[in-house]
Amino acid sequence: MRTLLVILALSLLLLLLATQFAACSRSEDITAPTEPRNLAAVHSLPDGKYPVLVEYDGQVERSLDRYTKQNGDHLIYVEDFEIGDGGWVPVDLDAQHGVFWHHTLYDDGHEERGVMWCGTDSSELRSPPGYGNLWKQDLWKEFVLTEGNIISFSLQYHLEAGYDYLYVEASLDDGQSFTRLKEYTWWGGDSFFSDTAVIPGVTGQSVIIRFRIVSDAAWSDEDMLFDSNGACRLDEVRVPGYDADTFETGSDGWIAEAGPSAGGGPFRRESELAGLGEDHGYALAAYDLDGPHAGEFPFTSYQDLSYGHFVQIGMESPVIELPTDGDWVFLLDFDVYADLPPSNLVFYTMQVAAPPPEEGGVWMNYPAWFYGPGPAWVSRRLNISNYVPRHASSMRIRLIALDGTLLVPLPQPATHTPAPFFDNIAISAVRPVAFDIMPNSCPNVVSMNEQGVLPAVICGTADFDVQEIDPASLSISMHSAGTHAWPTRHSFKDVGTPPDSYDLCSCIEKRRDHVDDLTLKFDMADVIPRLGWAQDGQEVVVILWGSTYDGIPISGANCIVIHDP
């Protein structure tokens, strides 16, 4: 969240804008619907890496027919799982996809030396060389204590501070359990440094020494949110009574392994969904079928929790073809049975890979995890355009559920509900439009005690006549998952010119281009309650939804800056 130290005299500005817009031609009142069109709302955006959103209760018409009616020919993908799995396959995000500790040569600027490296040069990373998300990589060797219990080693490491770790551990029971001797996070410097640890046990006892790398679900070289040169390099391991392991020619007997998955699931196609008491058709579910928590979403073991890992399971789509004949906004719709009270500590989210990984793409995390008080089916719409590069011709998506005990400062619950269940997945291509909040202001500062109206404009262009837009279809949400506000008035007038390059916080140019624009007014009494979660100085994305009279969906976005006096 970026803070802009700009406070504007909004009352006067809004009054002037209201006066100006009131004189527009062909203006008329719009009656806002009494029922919300979207049943989800932003609940909280706590500090940290994982914003958490909440769903409102609400029943929905669980049918793909509504998507067909809303989006028509611009619906590019649908799946309701009624006649099969549609090519969706289960995935375990905590499962390791390779062994990444390995012997290599490293030039430290003075000489080339053999080391054990936990890292990869793979193109699957967005910024190789480095390490990836959700790694659990082990390097171990067994010794017998003979002449002492002090182990020494030389390290070079670079890990996301406070989230990704290198652990030095020892086991005296043949690997059944481990005692943590040392832990490291963040940056150990460009050069190697030496350290020691005390090994538990007595002379003659066997001990397994393990170096374990653990990373969490985001911020690594895989998603390019963190740039390293690999997680760790290890050299000069010395255990009393043994020759030093210098790794000059190989691994010196150390064994590299990928750690076990946190487990859970898998997701599968089900018809008789646990806890619903009747047949609701087919949907995707992952609750346990047997064991002490049968009928509940899987729990993470205490051992995995101690390493910062947790159950993360989902379903992955087949390849979905995308239109490439212009600029499009892509919207993902799906239904979710969100019987997920906060104390449940089970969340759901999604990922996009465009192009698919097999074509060189990488999985991108949606930056929010959702829960809901339920029990109810609710509909969710997410704008996934930021994860689809221009001219991408195909993609895959994942719907993911996870045990979030590590994410929220609450005790682990004794039970889980069986939720979430996923159904009725649809992707539509929407025409993007140039949308600007407060067209005579830049940046767009909104005061939380403001009254009156919030003006906005949809810019017409030589290629797009705004009079094709159905004003009754228009609404804004304060987040891609937020509840909607509707304009109370609209008019057609040349207000300005769209910027040449448009991003979320762009402002229109005030010079007129002799092309009609569509101006809108929103009641601040309707807008401010939808911003109750925002903090002073926070930038909030406002998303426009609507369609043309011909049924072509349109969407735009612009940002506002919150002033909370």
* 3-state helix vs strand vs coil in the chain, percent to 5: 10, 40, 55
Question: 0.75 exceeded by the pTM?
Answer: no
- Do the domains 52-94+263-430 and 10-30+433-563 match in fold? no
Spell out the per-residue pLDDT of the chain, length 565, in tens: 222 222 222 222 222 222 222 222 222 222 222 222 222 222 222 333 333 444 433 344 445 454 444 444 478 899 999 999 999 999 999 888 899 999 999 997 888 999 999 999 998 888 899 999 989 999 999 999 998 899 999 999 999 999 999 999 999 999 999 999 999 999 988 899 999 999 988 889 999 999 999 998 788 998 888 999 999 999 999 999 999 999 999 999 999 999 888 888 899 999 878 777 656 688 999 999 988 999 999 998 877 877 778 899 999 999 999 988 777 888 898 989 989 988 888 999 999 999 999 998 888 888 788 888 678 888 888 888 889 988 899 999 999 999 987 767 677 888 999 999 999 999 988 888 888 899 888 888 988 888 899 999 999 988 889 999 999 999 988 754 456 889 999 999 998 888 766 566 777 766 778 899 999 999 999 888 877 667 888 888 888 888 889 877 888 888 888 888 7
**Which amino acid is it at 31?**
T
CA distances from 397 to 210, 258, 264, 316, 355 (A): 36, 25, 20, 6, 10
- Residue 312's DSSP bridge partners are 402
CATH match for 52-94+263-430 among 3.30.200.20, 2.60.120.200, 1.20.1250.20, 3.40.50.2300: 2.60.120.200
- CA-to-CA distance for 273 and 42, rounded, in angstroms? 28
CATH class of 10-30+433-563: mainly beta
pLDDT of 504: 65
**Which amino acid is it at 81?**
F
- Which candidate, 526, 372, 553, 361, places its Cα nearest to that of 470? 553
Residue ranges of the alpha helices (H) in 53-170?
65-71
pLDDT of 511: 74
- CA-to-CA distance for 17 and 290, rounded, in angstroms? 63
- CA-to-CA distance for 481 and 548, rounded, in angstroms? 22
What's the angle, vertex CA 456, arms to CA 450 and CA 458, rounded to 5? Answer: 170
pLDDT of 280: 66
pLDDT of 63: 52
What are the domain boundaries of the chain? 10-30+433-563, 52-94+263-430, 101-258
Output the CATH code of domain 101-258.
Answer: 2.60.120
